[in-house]
Amino acid sequence: MTVVSKTNTTEKVSSNELGGETITTTTTLAYSQINKVLISKVERLSALKNDDKSSTTSCADHKDGSLPNFESHELIGTPSGNDDCEHLVLVDTVRKPGMDPVSRAFYAAGPRRCLHFQRTTVNAAIVTCGGLCPGMNNVIRTLVHTLYNLYSVQQVWGVTGGWNGFHLNNPDFEPVLLTNELVHDIHHQGGSFLSTSRGGLDIDKTVEFLQSKNICQLYIIGGDGTHRAAYKVHEACMARKLNVAVAGIPKTIDNDIAFTDRTFGFQSAVEAAQEAIRTGFVEAKCTLPNGIAVIKLMGRSAGFLAAYAALGSGVVDAVLVPEVPIVLDGPNGLLPFIHARVRKKKYAVVVVAEGAGEELLGETAEKEAGSGNKKLPAIAEWIRDRILEYFTSQGDQARMKFIDPSYLVRSVPANASDSLYCSELAENAVHGAMSGFTGFSVGLVNNKVVYIPIPQLVESSPRHMNPYSTFWKRVLAMTGQPNTLPPQDTMDNGATHGSLRASTQLYTDPGMNAAS
């Protein structure tokens, strides 16, 4: 399948436009071809005969009980009787010279003609894991409403406290029988109605819980680490030949889940982060002499939150992110730049992502309790102290304001955009599980909700912001800060600098910014 090969365009300009001279220009654009599309297949449960009279068709398409493997691919156009092959979403719809001629496609999400489960006998379970994120309650609420109102399932259980909630006979983690009435207005609240925790996965206890409650659909809300754990549960269920569909709904305010345009909660977090930046701006501008505000934002491995919030606020003088090396001194140094900016306009605002600056402070082998994540050095506090020291060395005084809104940013309710997005993801997760898909997650790819095999999703997660993108250039244009990136052709030759992510495989820009 060839989308574009070579385009020859001839432009003729009239003599009137060029003072009596006619010029003919021929331009050749050598765009890469797509000659093969790999379809990312999602695993299915062994098909059972569907006796639910309310379904529109039988499961004849899947009565052989086959289990397509997520790693298997097929060329586009391969004959197939499955309705899920009717709509495909290409990942790299924007083609550039030199791109791989092999593209990837995901199955479009949505209801299927064939239901794997007899709806009225379904018992489902929902669990939230990892850190909080705006929109978690929206997802819980929509899952419950979709299961009861669209599919008339028997019961929906809420597992409390993350993976720890699967440990039976623990009074601190009693499961909750969810109803439409119980979750009616939880979307107006931040946090998780079911509570959450980090770590605690025990495969045997989780499977024992599923069997004790006769659970056949498990919906897991969490980030890339949670999805890795979810796939282990999926593999355990498959190994035990349990008829359990495992579906993930990815969440993180860092927006670092691969393939997806954005994760739910990100836009709400950006909105909340802007409030912190505005607070820092007011404090710095109204404090004399030389008011400076340093705002620390989340962003363990990606600078999306810091960059978007800063760009949206329009009042930030420097943004420090994990993907771009920090230079303190010299012509491109942060410290002389901030000093000069304060001397010019009497104040400055600096936004620092928590994962920035590892090339300065070094990586640590120490792990955080519970999550197992690498413990990050206190870069924002370190930058704050270096700025104060520099001003003192220059014979100037600085009035520093330090703001860390981390928990405020992630505990707010979802805004209108995220609320709608959460509902769309949750509904499609239910459609996928009811049709027998398992070991998958849902996400927005090129503005279309698709089913992503969990192994593919976590393989490239966490993703990183492309520091050579037009989006980061917009940030530099707004702040006026020095560009500390090495030339891109240097990076293409394999050179690295500190924490700079040189692998273009990890560089992705969310569709919402159209940055490439």
Which residues are known catalytic residues?
Answer: 254
How many Å apart are CA 358 and CA 360, to the nearest integer? 5
Give 399's strand partners: 291
**What are the tokens at 447?**
């503005």
- State how far the alpha carbon of 162 is from the alpha carbons of 93, 120, 195, 198, 298, in Å: 37, 27, 7, 7, 22
Letter for the amino acid at 511? G
CB-facing half-sphere around the CA of 346: CA atoms within 13 A:
7
Residue 75 CB coordination number (10 Å):
11
**What are the tokens at 347?**
């104040």
How many Å apart are CA 383 and CA 398, to the nearest integer? 14
Whether the CA torsion 262, 254, 270, 502 is positive or negative: it is negative
Let me know how long the chain is: 516
Residue 285 CB coordination number (10 Å):
16
* DSSP assignment letter at 166: G
Whether the CA torsion 157, 161, 165, 169 is positive or negative: it is negative
Q: Where are the alpha helices (DSSP H) in 367-492?
A: 379-393, 406-410, 416-434, 454-459, 470-479, 488-492
Q: Mapping DSSP to helix (H, G, I), strand (E, B) and coil, where does residue 404 land?
A: coil
Q: Mapping DSSP to helix (H, G, I), strand (E, B) and coil, where does residue 104 land?
A: strand
* DSSP assignment letter at 148: I
8 Å CB contact between 422 and 138? yes
Letter for the amino acid at 120? T
Residue 463 CB coordination number (10 Å):
24
Q: Determine the Cα angle at 101 with ends 99 and 104, to 5°.
A: 95
DSSP letters for 55-69: SSS-SGGGTT-----
Q: Mapping DSSP to helix (H, G, I), strand (E, B) and coil, where does residue 280 land?
A: helix
**What are the tokens at 26?**
């021929």
How many Å apart are CA 173 and CA 209, to the nearest integer? 12
8 Å CB contact between 268 and 415? yes
Percentages of the chain per state (helix, strand, coil), in multiples of 5: 35, 20, 50
How many Å apart are CA 291 and CA 280, to the nearest integer? 10
CB-facing half-sphere around the CA of 334: CA atoms within 13 A:
27
